Structure 1
Amino acid sequence: MPWTTPLRPRPSRRSLLAGAAGAAGALLLTGCSDGSPAEEDFGIPLERRMRETAVRDSERLLERYDATTAAHPALAQRLGPLRAAVAAHAAALAAEGSGAGSGSGSGAGPSAKASAAPAGSAAPAVAPSGEPVPPTPADALTGLADTERSLAEARTISLAGAPGELARMLASVAACGHVHAYLLASTPGGTP
């Protein structure tokens, strides 16, 4: 029995995947907003919500640095410059937001909060997530590197929805987070 071509050719796997990807992309670009208050977040602009989230994330990361330093004081010198960079990121994100009318004094919050706990303070050795800091310095550095990496990846993902200047700032902060993760995971004076 000879093979006959069907009247309608079947779509190829590639065309089906391309169509699905296009539909998903269109859905992401247009959004699924029905105008409900939950999606509009009661009139708070997207940039402000994203900026406030980024500041909170940086503040949590600062708390993680402080808890690690409190648990392992010998790491204070190594973690100090990285913590200072995270504090500067939090302050820059908050300062940009306060200039854009974010209100409620968010320009002073993160920088004051970030510098309130010195690196050698007697803070409890518990990370902001409630989990204890690992008992060995090497494990603590690995945990901090994982936290930096996770936050950098989350910020990279959020770039898709961020407005222009905020997207550039988040990209820079995410890149810095990846560098921090690398530095935390590498052995000083040795090859990683």
Structure 2
Amino acid sequence: MPWTLPSRPSRRSLLAGAAGAAGAALLTGCSGGPGTADPDPAVSLERRMRASSVRDSERLLERYDATAAAHPALAERLAPLRAAVAAHTSALSSSGASDGSAAPSAPAAAPAPGAGPAVSGEPVPPKPEEALAALADAERSLAESRTVALAGAPGELARLLASVAACGAVHAYLLTPTPGAAS
């Protein structure tokens, strides 16, 4: 059987790219040294970046909840991905302190069935495959923005953002149907 070029990236190449992004984050996170300027701006930057990341994750959770409510048949398929996004929200919301005193954020309650528009204001597409594609686009977009944010993030936050971005890229892949595959 002749080998043909796949129409989209393979899972292996997607994960290899995510690993490369994580490696770049590790290198970026190790650039601070003893001659670093006042640490207060870095702490403030980290807090702002964490708060923004938490808001983004909470909006993504709202999209998952609205999609599951609008398309109950997808709820079981979306549950593990939503749980991962909730775990990311919790990890990002921690203050980064080693005492573990930061409380994780509680998962958002699912909207009532038939709610239609997502809480974030974006409507849930009426067809299940379109709803999955919209979630994949949201995951992909957020993963890309987090990858871009790595360059300016302090060390530990950069590593966390790289991990969450890689997971978001995998979610986008899992939400996108494979051409020719049986559903």
TM-score normalized by structure 2? 0.69
Residue in 2 aligned with 1:91? 90
Cα distance in 1, alignment partners of residues 158 and 46 from structure 2: 10
Q: CA separation of 1:59/1:74 partners in 2, compared to 1, >3 Å: closer, same or farther?
A: same
Q: Which one of 135, 142, 149 corresponds to residue 144 of structure 1?
A: 135
8 Å contact from structure 1 (residues 98, 107) kept in 2: no
2 CA distance for matches of 1:182 and 1:189? 15
- Cα deviation, residue 100, structure 1: 7.5
**3-state SS in 2 of match to 1:99:** coil
Please tell me the residue identity of whatever aligns with 2:103: G
One-letter identity of the residue aligned with 1:132: P
How far the C-alpha of 1:166 sits from its partner, in A, is 0.2
Q: CA deviation at 1:117?
A: 1.1
Partner of residue 31, structure 1: none
Larger radius of gyration: 1
Give the whole-Å Cα distance in 2 for the aligned partners of 1:170 and 1:134.
Answer: 29
What secondary structure sits across from 2:118 in the alignment? coil
User: Which residues of structure 1 form unaligned runs of 5+?
Assistant: 1-39
1:25-174 alignment runs, 5 A limit: 45-95=44-94, 97=95, 99=97, 107-108=103-104, 111-112=105-106, 114=107, 116-118=108-110, 121-122=112-113, 124-174=115-165
Secondary structure of the residue aligned to 2:57 is helix
Equivalent residues of 1:64, 1:144 under 8 A apart: yes
Paired position in structure 2 for 1:30: none
Kindly tell me: are residues 78 and 89 of structure 1, through their superposed partners in 2, closer, same or farther at Cα, counting changes over 3 Å? same
Contact 1:66–1:123, Cα closer than 8 Å, also in 2: no
Mapped to 2, the partners of 1:55 and 1:179 lie a distance apart of: 19
Give the structure 1 partner of residue 172 of structure 2: 181
- State the alpha-carbon separation in 2 of the partners of residues 94 and 123 from structure 1: 30
Provide the alpha-carbon RMSD of the alignment.
Answer: 2.9
Amino acid in the other structure paired with 1:135? P
The alpha carbon displacement at 1:143 in A equals 0.4
Higher relative contact order (CA 8 A, sep 6+): 2
Percent same amino acid at aligned positions?
65
Task: State the alpha-carbon separation in 1 of the partners of residues 154 and 182 from structure 2.
Answer: 39
How many equivalent residue pairs? 143
Unaligned runs of 5+ in 2: 1-39
